[in-house]
Amino acid sequence: MHRTSGKFDEALKYYIAFETEYRKADLFNKFTEQRKDECNSAKTLIASPVRAWVDHVPELSSEHDEYAPSVTMDGEEIVFHPTDQTDTQQMK
């Protein structure tokens, strides 16, 4: 919640507390390291913004309103998330 609302220092505090206090935290090491890296990267990028352009790529576009592209573990597919339930139902 803190990470997604831009409270990166607060989020880092909780990730570190989780790592030190939860006895099975080592099972989540990859997850917490990634989230801590995301918080630190966000802080750096916010401190020094870079102007960027987003190009339209027709091969990746659909008629649905989608966000947060993710590449599958095997690198073979890109998965987009619909913004609402209506889009999810229309995509089927």
Q: Is 89's pLDDT higher than 50?
A: no
Give per-residue pLDDT as tens, 17-76: 988 888 776 788 888 898 999 999 999 999 999 898 888 788 777 777 777 778 888 888
The pTM score is 0.55
Q: How far apart are the first and last CA of the chain?
A: 30
Q: How far apart are CA 20 and CA 37, in angstroms?
A: 17
- Sorted by sequence, the CB contacts under 8 Å of residue 82 that are 6+ apart come out as 64, 65, 66, 88, 91
CA distances from 17 to 4, 13, 35 (A): 18, 6, 13
Rounded Cα–Cα distance for residues 84 and 91 (Å): 11
Question: Does residue 90 have a pLDDT over 50?
Answer: no
Q: Residue 40: its pLDDT value, please?
A: 94
